[in-house]
Amino acid sequence: MVAFNRYIGSLSLGVFFLSLVAIFDRLLYPISGYVNTFFGYSVVLILTTVFIFANKNIQEIRLKNKKKELLLLALGQLGSAAFFLKAVQIIDFATTGLLLYSAPIWIALFYLITREEKITAKIIIPLFLGIVGVILVLGPNEIINQNKNLGGILLALLSGISYAVSFIFARKIKDEYKTSSIVFWSHLIGAVVLLPFVFTNPLSIQKITVLYFLGIGFSWAIGYTFFYYSLKFIKAHLASLIAITEPIFIALWGYLFFSEPISISTLIGGALLLANVYLINKQIE
């Protein structure tokens, strides 16, 4: 029981740190979310490289088979991070965080279409709940009345779809590459892809700016370290139950730090969407 609680605590701590990224990103506005992602990625890449060399595990980052799958995972993870950080600067924290966690809907739809994995009939109910939840979170009336930025909504949806892509291809290469290798290559690829945004967005670097960049990088590094470590010892449906607290934390930070109200439709839609995350993960475990 003690060991079990340790892994639960580790996963919860990881989710907590991951949720902090949204705060640092909003504080960096008007610097582009893509630029913030680049510097956050750079911090994680440096820390991962130091860790690998310190432990003399250089062979771990050698490219093996399934290079295409590794590239697609990296691009999916990049889209998830970059679109999220861009969206959270445009729309409210609650909507952005909840739409990021629409990923299980896209994952389930992918498996239903490709039939790569067995999906039981019970998946239809959580899928329906998730779709209804997304609609409520989007708030169609607010979009029509221009109370919500449509561009930000699309970016948040893209972050959820990208999250799904990274998950799908992570499962395909989990036996081929170790976690440190996946983290190294995904962040190296992401940093290279984002480099042009740094040159096209002039920066006024100040001490506080550097601290916020470090905040994003360290939050990701610490968060994913605890997160991936715990997943080795916790069943998927239980892990998903803990992971869905991330959008709750994100919404809370929006309310506490930026005085963002949370609408009733967002609360109801969020509850349905988070129930969908848990139920779908339980079915495809």
61's tokens: 């980052």
Residue 94 has pLDDT above 90, yes or no: no
The one-character DSSP state at 134 is H
246's tokens: 């991330």
Residue scoring higher pLDDT (283 or 160): 160
Of the candidates 175, 151, 188, the residue with the CA atom closest to the CA atom of residue 71: 188
CA–CA distance, 79 with 155 (Å, rounded to integer):
9
Helices 67-87 and 150-173 pack at an angle, to 10 degrees, of 150
Q: Which of 10-24, 105-119, 195-209, 253-267 has the highest mean pLDDT?
A: 10-24
Are the C-beta atoms of residues 76 and 251 closer than 8 Å to each other? Answer: no
Residue 280: predicted pLDDT: 61
Q: How far apart are the first and last CA of the chain?
A: 22
Least confident of 83-87, 159-163, 245-249: 245-249
Residue 43 has pLDDT above 70, yes or no: yes
Of the candidates 159, 181, 162, the residue with the CA atom closest to the CA atom of residue 70: 181
Burial class (CB in 10 A: 0-12, 13-18, 19+), 210: exposed
Residue 1: predicted pLDDT: 44
Q: Which of 96-110, 171-185, 191-205, 210-224 has the highest mean pLDDT?
A: 210-224
CA–CA distance, 206 with 196 (Å, rounded to integer):
21
CA–CA distance, 96 with 76 (Å, rounded to integer):
17
Count of residues in the chain? 285
Residue 160 has pLDDT above 80, yes or no: yes
Burial class (CB in 10 A: 0-12, 13-18, 19+), 50: exposed
Residue 235 has pLDDT above 70, yes or no: no
Residue scoring higher pLDDT (60 or 162): 162
